[in-house]
Amino acid sequence: MQHLSQEAWAAQLAADENAVILDVRTEEEWEDGIIPGALLNDIYKGQGFIYRLEELDKSKNYYVYCKAGGRSAQACQIMKQLGFEHTYNLEGGFMNWQGEVTQP
Protein backbone atom coordinates (compact mmCIF):
# COMPACT_ATOMS: atom_id res chain seq x y z
CA MET A 1 0.00 0.00 0.00
CA GLN A 2 1.12 3.50 -0.77
CA HIS A 3 -0.33 6.61 0.80
CA LEU A 4 -0.63 9.22 -1.94
CA SER A 5 -1.38 12.93 -1.71
CA GLN A 6 -4.41 14.22 -3.57
CA GLU A 7 -2.20 15.44 -6.43
CA ALA A 8 -0.11 12.26 -6.71
CA TRP A 9 -3.21 10.01 -6.48
CA ALA A 10 -5.01 11.93 -9.24
CA ALA A 11 -1.95 12.09 -11.51
CA GLN A 12 -1.08 8.42 -11.09
CA LEU A 13 -4.71 7.40 -11.57
CA ALA A 14 -5.00 9.42 -14.78
CA ALA A 15 -1.94 7.66 -16.25
CA ASP A 16 -2.91 4.15 -15.10
CA GLU A 17 -4.69 2.00 -17.69
CA ASN A 18 -5.08 -0.83 -15.16
CA ALA A 19 -6.80 1.27 -12.48
CA VAL A 20 -9.92 0.61 -10.41
CA ILE A 21 -11.28 3.26 -8.03
CA LEU A 22 -12.72 1.79 -4.84
CA ASP A 23 -14.91 3.82 -2.46
CA VAL A 24 -15.13 2.16 0.96
CA ARG A 25 -17.58 4.65 2.52
CA THR A 26 -21.17 3.91 3.53
CA GLU A 27 -24.04 4.10 1.06
CA GLU A 28 -25.20 7.32 2.75
CA GLU A 29 -21.78 8.91 2.20
CA TRP A 30 -21.73 7.55 -1.37
CA GLU A 31 -24.98 9.43 -2.08
CA ASP A 32 -23.20 12.73 -1.28
CA GLY A 33 -21.06 12.34 -4.38
CA ILE A 34 -18.26 10.14 -5.70
CA ILE A 35 -15.04 10.29 -7.65
CA PRO A 36 -16.14 9.38 -11.22
CA GLY A 37 -15.93 5.66 -12.00
CA ALA A 38 -15.71 4.52 -8.37
CA LEU A 39 -17.07 1.18 -7.18
CA LEU A 40 -18.75 1.10 -3.77
CA ASN A 41 -17.70 -1.50 -1.20
CA ASP A 42 -18.60 -0.35 2.33
CA ILE A 43 -15.85 -1.48 4.73
CA TYR A 44 -18.41 -1.47 7.57
CA LYS A 45 -20.16 -4.47 5.93
CA GLY A 46 -17.61 -6.78 7.58
CA GLN A 47 -17.60 -10.17 5.92
CA GLY A 48 -19.67 -8.76 3.05
CA PHE A 49 -16.79 -6.35 2.38
CA ILE A 50 -14.38 -9.30 2.22
CA TYR A 51 -16.66 -11.27 -0.11
CA ARG A 52 -16.88 -8.33 -2.52
CA LEU A 53 -13.10 -7.89 -2.44
CA GLU A 54 -12.62 -11.56 -3.32
CA GLU A 55 -14.69 -11.00 -6.48
CA LEU A 56 -12.26 -8.35 -7.74
CA ASP A 57 -9.34 -8.88 -10.13
CA LYS A 58 -6.16 -8.90 -8.02
CA SER A 59 -4.04 -7.97 -11.06
CA LYS A 60 -5.58 -4.47 -11.18
CA ASN A 61 -4.27 -1.38 -9.39
CA TYR A 62 -6.72 -0.17 -6.73
CA TYR A 63 -7.11 3.50 -5.83
CA VAL A 64 -8.97 3.44 -2.52
CA TYR A 65 -10.70 6.27 -0.70
CA CYS A 66 -13.09 6.97 2.16
CA LYS A 67 -14.18 10.19 3.83
CA ALA A 68 -10.91 11.09 5.62
CA GLY A 69 -8.34 8.40 4.75
CA GLY A 70 -8.53 6.09 7.78
CA ARG A 71 -10.96 3.45 6.54
CA SER A 72 -9.29 3.38 3.13
CA ALA A 73 -5.89 2.73 4.75
CA GLN A 74 -7.49 -0.12 6.69
CA ALA A 75 -9.08 -1.43 3.48
CA CYS A 76 -5.69 -1.39 1.75
CA GLN A 77 -4.21 -3.46 4.60
CA ILE A 78 -7.02 -6.01 4.31
CA MET A 79 -6.56 -6.11 0.54
CA LYS A 80 -2.83 -6.79 0.98
CA GLN A 81 -3.66 -9.75 3.25
CA LEU A 82 -5.97 -11.06 0.52
CA GLY A 83 -3.24 -10.90 -2.12
CA PHE A 84 -3.79 -7.52 -3.77
CA GLU A 85 -0.35 -6.19 -4.70
CA HIS A 86 -1.08 -2.63 -5.78
CA THR A 87 -3.29 -0.47 -3.55
CA TYR A 88 -3.11 3.30 -3.21
CA ASN A 89 -4.71 5.14 -0.31
CA LEU A 90 -6.00 8.68 -0.89
CA GLU A 91 -4.56 10.82 1.93
CA GLY A 92 -7.19 13.14 3.40
CA GLY A 93 -10.01 11.23 1.73
CA PHE A 94 -13.03 12.49 -0.16
CA MET A 95 -13.63 15.44 2.16
CA ASN A 96 -10.39 17.01 0.88
CA TRP A 97 -10.77 15.89 -2.74
CA GLN A 98 -10.23 18.77 -5.18
CA GLY A 99 -10.86 16.77 -8.37
CA GLU A 100 -14.01 15.96 -10.29
CA VAL A 101 -17.06 14.75 -8.37
CA THR A 102 -20.20 13.18 -9.77
CA GLN A 103 -23.46 11.78 -8.41
CA PRO A 104 -23.73 7.98 -8.31
The catalytic residues are: 66
Q: Which residues, 6 or more positions from 21, have their beta carbon under 8 angstroms from its beta carbon?
A: 13, 35, 36, 37, 38, 39, 62, 63, 65
Strand order in the sheet with 61-65: 2-4, 87-90, 61-65, 19-23, 39-40
The answer to whether the CB of 90 falls within 8 A of the CB of 65 is: yes
Task: For residues 64 and 89, give the distance between their C-alpha atoms in angstroms, rounded to a whole number.
Answer: 5
